[in-house]
Amino acid sequence: MIQLKVNGVAHSFEGDPEMPLLWYLRDILGLTGTKFGCGIALCGACTVHKNGEALRSCITPMSSLAGAEIRTIEDIAANGLHPVQKMWMQLNVPQCGYCQSGQIMQAIALLKDKPKPTDKDIDEGMAANICRCGTYQRIRAAIKAASEESV
Amino acid sequence: MSPITNVSRRGFLKGLVGAGALVLGAYYLPKALRHHGFPPGGTDADRATLHPNAFVGIDTDGTVYIVAHRSEMGTVIRTTLPMVVADELDADWKRIKIDQAIGDPRYGDQNTDGSHSVRSFFDVMRRAGATARSMLILAAAQEWGVPPAECQTDMHTVAHPSTGRRLSYGELASAASKLPVPSSGIRLKTPDQWRYIGKGMTSYDLTGLCTGRAIYGEDVRVDVMVYASIEHPPVLGGKVKSVDDGEALKVAGVHQTVPIDPFKPPPAFQPLGGIAVIADNTWAAFQGRKKLKIEWDNGPNATYDSEQYKKELQTTARKPGKVVRNEGDAESVLSKGGSVFEADYYVPLLAHASMEPMVATAEFKDGKLTAWAPTQNPQAAQAIIAQELGIAKENVICHVTLLGGGFGRKSKPDYVAEAAVLSKKVGRPVKVVWTREDDIKFDYFNAVAAMNMKAAVDPRGKPTAWLQRSVFPPITSTFDINAVYGDPGHLQQGWTDVPYDIPNLRVENGPAPAHVRIGWLRSVANIYHAFAVQTFTDELAHRAGRDPLEYLLELIGQPRTLNFSGVDYPNYGADLRTYPWETGRLRQVTEIVAEKSDWGKRKFGKGSGIGIAAHRSFLTYVAAAVEVEVSDQGDIKIPRVDYAVDAGLVANPEVTRAQFEGAAVFGTSVARSGEITAKNGVIEQSNFDTYPVARINEAPYQTNVYLVDSDAPPAGVGEPGVPPFIPALCNAIFVATGKRIRELPLSRTSLGKNS
């Protein structure tokens, strides 16, 4: 049995320990905000936070998560919109929006590490998250705006 | 349905601007605007107190329900068309609720493809809103005992200015619902009265999109549903010879395996066939599927080799083909020799790779099928499901979720049909989940194409004769096993409409059989046609030692309307009188983009360059100027892109700009690395490692979009940004490196200094 916390709530999991966190979140807990994009950590659509760090849930087996604190996109706005979400809305970042849960989770983690990210920081921090609609220009602008907001 | 018919572009405008409010006759009304009933699967708009037509309903509490009948995949169309209704209704946007329509022919065409949602439904939406507004005005006038002409609307209320009386839409809904729905004499707003049109509205779904709460096809959950993952035949048309599912059934959570019949050619939207693994959750279905042991009969496409096929296409492209446009006598001018220049161009198969792979949920119950799917084309989903299950189309309900990208792939509902077939066989709701590998391998690919271009030029380098030949497996092959030639609908895309002012001009197309499913992908045949025409133009300019901008403008020539007599030119389904092909507009966007990009004023070369290209597609005129930096190692950066766009009236400008920003990124992906290949009939790519798409550090850093303030009727905005971007980028690379790109993707060419 694997015990972990998701969005502050304690859960125990008794299924296949090789099941990636992504499918536990989506199919078992019904937290569908975290998306399936590639299944092999190439696109970042499945990004969640583990103990505050960005994590690709699609390749993270449940067996590695005993005692972990997982946070998903659903919890980010639990007490009002996060500054990153506010800027995402203000700058109309999303098109189809499917990748944006992952983009937002990645951006929040990036800003935690680099509160004033340069273009290079953003390139490095966000390059593992694909947006097929091509909203990168607005993602970059929203990250910069959020970094100024949180001064 | 084509609401704007037989009206010239200028006439259309005069109607709106010159003569005050446009009054429309009843014959314009599509069926949906005359609907009164409460159909099964009806919307909140249908159930509302006042529901004059299928698109709008108003309740007594003032809530206005507006139906979005087109699919939302990121173009914000689910907001833009309801916004048009709300404007003509003079409604407060904060009190609007948008209902997503199921597939239902009463809404007219729902295939959200071809960049024509606003073009085809702008007037329909205006009338839908204006009809409700006129009924509210009449109800208020009767209540007050005054002539309706003395009343006016003002943000969700009807007012009688001379007495200061006001009634809200909610207060009037009940009385208005007792009035007959007017079938004529509906007054539309004049453009200066528009509140939202032309100013725009952000996505109705914006909060959901930023908080993980928006529901895509992937997120549908139905009680007692099971999950399915399907092992498809690796080669198109392949069949299962034998299957051993013993190990698969041992995987915890796996219930059963279910065979799906192979399609009967042509493939169209039928399921591909294969073996489905049914399980408690997606992961178990994936795991079980990996344990299947299947022997395949791969069939005749097993000999398909894309490298060999490429050579065949290129050989065909150099031979005379079917003549699809001919002016003057290009052949005899070219045969005289002199200064003749010839070049071959090639664009491979492309996959859509929307971020959400194909997915659909279906429940077969009591002889009826309900589907929930991220589909661009719910009516086609109904049709194929009805065909596969042998039930009437009316017994298929197709709910449309948000789409995690579409780009044309989700117009083809094969995956929805799979869920339907499986639900019937399993006796429970089934969710079919494709992996990324399934998505890339079993796509309906954008056609691979070879183009041969030939021009004879005068001493200044201007062509006196122009011959262009293209070969590509046509989309029609997906629906007709005998189709090998390009059809007019795709030859029109930047090929038969080459807009140059050249006296001897010949356009041909050669035959190519398909070995994979060919389908629409964002801007479709325009991708390879614009690449060939706009690169060849740039090559001719450089050969003549001329400035590419000035040369391009000379070829476009003086403003004129293209004459398509003798050419099968469908004009994207629009009347040429309403949407003529005007070279002046292409010229104008080219001049604007040159000015905005400071063309000719900045120094390039030695690793940096700028390129230009202009193209009309989906009735929209676009010019792109792309800047590039190429490192000594051959790495590419795109610091800046400028677009000038004449899309006619733009209903939602901010969203339109975003579409062009995205198109530049999409074009970057095509140019850098877009390539699907096959060996022994099997697609060699599988995920974002072997089919890379542009990432934030590879995408254009800054894309500026200049929208021409145009008085033409609305045209497409989702696709037209892609075609000119790619040749403009390649033309920039030539300036930066001296290397001419005639073949995509760029990953096939070494751009480094010493290579």
CATH of the domain at A109: 1.10.150.120
CA distance B66 to B58: 9
Region of poorest pLDDT, from A43-47, A83-87, B39-43, B280-284 = B39-43
Residue B683 sits in which domain range?
306-350+444-748
- Tell me: do B278 and B335 sit in the same domain: no
Across B37-156, the runs of DSSP E, i.e. the strands, are: 50-53, 56-58, 64-68, 96-100, 152-153
CB B531 within 8 A of CB B452: no
Distance from CA of A67 to the nearest CA of B (A): 22
Classify each residue of B591-617 as buried b or exposed e, where b means 16 or more C-beta atoms within 10 Å of its C-beta.
bbbbebbebeeeeeeeebbbbbbbbbb
Whole-number pLDDT of residue B753: 85
B145 is a domain residue: yes
Residue B27 has pLDDT above 50, yes or no: no
**Co-location of B320 and B273 in the same domain:** no
Q: Does A137 contact B218 at a Cβ distance shorter than 8 Å?
A: no
Mean pLDDT over residues B444-463, rounded? 98
Instruction: Indicate the residue among A76, A104, A137 that finishes a domain.
Output: A76
Residue of A nearest to B216 (CA): A98
CA dihedral B47, B48, B53, B55 (to 10 degrees): -90
Domain boundary among A76, A111, A138: A76
Rounded to a whole number of angstroms, the distance from the CA of B291 to the nearest CA of chain A is: 15
Based on the domain organization, do A104 and A135 belong to the same domain? yes
- Is B362:B420 a contact under the CB 8 Å cutoff? yes
Look at residue B386 and tell me whether its pLDDT is greater than 80.
Answer: yes
Non-local CB neighbours of A151 within 8 Å, separated by 6+ positions: none
Residues B188, B192, B198, B204: is their CA dihedral positive or negative? Answer: negative
Write out the H or E segment, with its range, that includes residue B170.
Answer: helix B169-177
> Measured between beta carbons, which residues in chain A are less than 8 angstroms from residue B407?
132
| Interface mutation target, options A81, A87, A96, chain B, most CBs of B under 10 Å | A96
Tell me, what's the pLDDT at B501? 96
Size of interface A-B (CB pairs under 8 A): 190
The interface predicted TM-score of the complex, written ipTM, equals 0.98
- Residue A136 and residue B73: Cβ atoms within 8 Å? no
Q: Please give the pLDDT value at position B41.
A: 57
Structure tokens at B653: 């400008």
Residues of B in contact with A130 (CB under 8 A): 355, 688, 693, 695
Cα angle at B645 between B644 and B648, to 5 degrees?
150
Same-domain check for residues B493 and B509:
yes
Asked whether the beta carbons of residue A95 and residue B663 sit closer than 8 angstroms, the reply is no
Could you say which of A48, A76, A104 is where a domain stops?
Answer: A76
Backbone angles phi, psi at B617, to 5 degrees: -145, 150
Same domain, A71 and A87: no
Question: Residue A113 carries which side chain, given as an amino acid letter?
Answer: D
Domains in chain A, number: 2
Tell me what pLDDT residue B28 has: 33
**What's residue B337's pLDDT?**
85
To the nearest whole Å, the CA of A9 is away from the closest chain B CA by: 18
* Residue-wise pLDDT tens digits, B210-251: 999 999 999 999 999 999 999 999 999 999 999 999 999 999
Q: Are residues A54 and A93 in the same domain?
A: no
Residue with tokens 């000594």: B632
Exposed (0-12), middle (13-18) or buried (19+): which is B545, by Cβ within 10 Å?
A: exposed
Residues A126, A70 share a domain: no
φ, ψ of residue B696 in degrees (nearest 5): -60, -35
Q: What is the pLDDT of residues B126-143, one digit of tens each?
A: 999 999 999 999 999 999
Do B413 and B483 fall within a single domain?
no
Q: What tokens appear for B252 in the block?
A: 């915890």
The boundaries of the domain holding residue A123 are 83-149
Question: Hey, are the CB atoms on B696 and A139 less than 8 Å from each other?
Answer: yes
What are the strands, taking DSSP E only, across B374-523?
A: 396-400, 430-433, 449-457, 463-471, 504-510
Whether residue B687 sits in one domain with residue B594: yes
* Cβ distance of B283 and A19 shorter than 8 Å: yes
pTM score of the predicted model: 0.95
Residues of A in contact with B208 (CB under 8 A): 97
Residue B666, φ and ψ in degrees, nearest 5: -60, -45
Helix (H) or strand (E) holding B126: helix B117-144
CA-based end-to-end distance of chain B: 54
**pLDDT on residue B185:** 82
**Could you tell me which residue, B21 or B206, shows the higher pLDDT?**
B206
User: Which residues does B187 contact at the CB level (< 8 Å), separation at least 6?
Assistant: B21, B22, B23, B130, B134
User: Quick one: CA torsion of B241, B242, B245, B246, rounded to 10 degrees?
Assistant: -170
pLDDT attached to residue B12: 32
pLDDT for res B273: 98
* B378, B405, B433 - which closes a domain: B433
- B498 and B422 in a single domain? The answer is no
In sequence order, what are the residues at sequence separation of 6 or more whose Cβ sits closer than 8 angstroms to the Cβ of residue B493? B523, B524, B525, B526, B529, B617
Would you state the pLDDT for residue B17?
29
* Cβ atoms of residues A85 and B206 within 8 Å: no
Closest CB from A27, A28, A100 relative to B210: A100
Sheet of B396-400: strand order equals B254-260, B274-279, B226-231, B430-433, B359-365, B368-373, B396-400
Q: Give the domain-ending residue among B184, B209, B234.
A: B209
CB A4 within 8 A of CB A67: yes
Identify how many contiguous H helices and E strands chain A contains and give both numbers. 6, 5
Whether B358 and B409 have beta carbons less than 8 Å apart is answered as yes
Write the CATH number for B607.
3.30.365.10
Is the domain of B253 the same as that of B332?
A: no
Whether residues B420 and B288 fall in one domain? yes
Q: What is the H or E stretch that residue B383 is in?
A: helix B378-389
CA separation for the pair B486, B420 (Å, rounded): 33
Domain count, chain B: 3
B48 CA to chain A: closest CA distance, Å? 29
Residues B181 and B280 in one domain: no
CB contact under 8 A, B283 and A40: no
Co-location of A59 and A119 in the same domain: no
Residues B728, B593, single domain; the answer is yes
Q: Measured in whole angstroms, how far is the alpha carbon of residue B632 from the centre of its chain?
A: 37
What is the DSSP-derived secondary structure letter of residue A26? I
Which of A88, A91, A86, A46 lies closest to A70, judged by CA? A46
What is the Cα–Cα distance from B669 to B685, expressed in whole angstroms? 15
Numbers of helices and strands, H then E, in chain B: 19, 29
- B253 and A88 in contact by Cβ < 8 A? no
Residues with Cβ within 8 Å of B337's Cβ and at least 6 positions away in sequence, in order, are: none
Q: Are B556 and B637 in contact (CB under 8 A)?
A: no
The reply to whether B426 and B540 lie within a common domain is no
Same domain as A88, residue A69 = no
pLDDT at A150: 63
Q: Does residue A70 share a domain with residue A7?
A: yes
- C-alpha–C-alpha distance, residues B672 and B66, integer Å: 42
Residues from chain A contacting residue B287 (CB–CB below 8 Å) = 16, 18
Side-chain-facing half-sphere of A24: CA atoms under 13 Å: 27
Question: Beta B23-24 vs B186-187: how paired, if at all?
Answer: antiparallel
Q: Which of B355, B662, B693 sits opposite A98 (nearest CB)?
A: B355
Measured in angstroms, the CA of A143 and the nearest CA of chain B are apart by 13
- Do A137 and A92 lie in one domain? The reply is yes
Q: Nearest CA to CA, how far is B301 from chain A (Å)? A: 27
Report whether B169 contacts B91 (CB < 8 A). yes
Say yes or no: B41 and B171 in one domain.
yes
**Three-state DSSP class for residue B687:** coil
In a domain, B2, yes or no: no
pLDDT of B278-297, one tens digit each? 999 999 999 999 999 999 99
B28-47 confidence digits (pLDDT tens) = 333 444 333 344 558 999 99
Sort strands B23-24 and A69-71 into parallel, antiparallel or unpaired.
unpaired
Where do the DSSP E strands lie in B94-187?
Answer: 96-100, 152-153, 157-160, 165-168, 186-187
Which residues in chain B have their CB less than 8 angstroms from residue A140's CB? 696
Residue B753 domain-assigned (yes or no): no
Kindly report the average pLDDT of chain B as a whole number: 94
Helix, strand and coil content of chain A, in percent to the nearest 5, comes to: 40, 15, 40
Same domain, A65 and A130: no
Q: Is residue B754 part of a domain?
A: no
Distance between CA atoms of residues B450 and B448, nearest Å: 7
The verdict on A46 and A10 lying in the same domain is yes
B252 CB neighbours in chain A (<8 A) are 15-16
CATH value at residue A56: 3.10.20.30
Rounded to the nearest angstrom, the minimum Cα separation between B73 and chain A is 5
**Which backbone phi and psi does B229 adopt, to 5 degrees?**
-125, 135
Any idea what the Cα angle at residue B254 is, between residues B252 and B259, rounded to 5°? 155
Question: A99: which chain B residues are within 8 Å (Cβ-Cβ)?
Answer: 355, 404
* CA distance linking residue A6 with residue A71, whole number of Å: 6
Taking contacts as CB-CB distances below 8 angstroms, the residues of chain A near B284 are: 16, 19
Strand pairing of B430-433 and B359-365? antiparallel
Q: State the average pLDDT over residues B183-208.
A: 95
- Of B189, B209, B229, which one is at a domain's C-terminal end? B209
| pLDDT tens string B647-672 | 999 999 999 999 999 999 999 999 99
B180: exposed, middle or buried (Cβ count in 10 Å: 0-12, 13-18, 19+): exposed
CA distance B627 to B323: 36
| pLDDT at residue B24, as a whole number | 34
Radius of gyration of chain B from Cα atoms? 27
For the sheet with B636-646, list strands across it.
B608-617, B620-630, B636-646, B702-707
Q: Are strands B463-471 and B396-400 parallel, antiparallel or unpaired?
A: unpaired
Q: Would you say residue B526 lies in a domain?
A: yes
What is the distance between the alpha carbons of residues B449 and B310, in angstroms, rounded to a whole number?
8
The answer to whether residues A72 and A137 belong to one domain is no
Separation CA B13–CA A127 (nearest Å) = 46
Q: CB count, 10 Å around CB of B66?
A: 30
Give me the torsion for CA of B340, B341, B342, B348, rounded to 10°: -160
Same domain? A35 vs A68:
yes
Q: What is the pLDDT of residue B20?
A: 31
Token output for B490: 């795709």
β partners of residue B68? B100
E-strand ranges in B545-652 read 608-617, 620-630, 636-646
CB B53 within 8 A of CB B131: yes
Contact residues, chain B, for A23 at CB < 8 Å = 281-283
Least confident of A147-151, B352-356, B713-717, B744-748: A147-151
In a domain, B3, yes or no: no
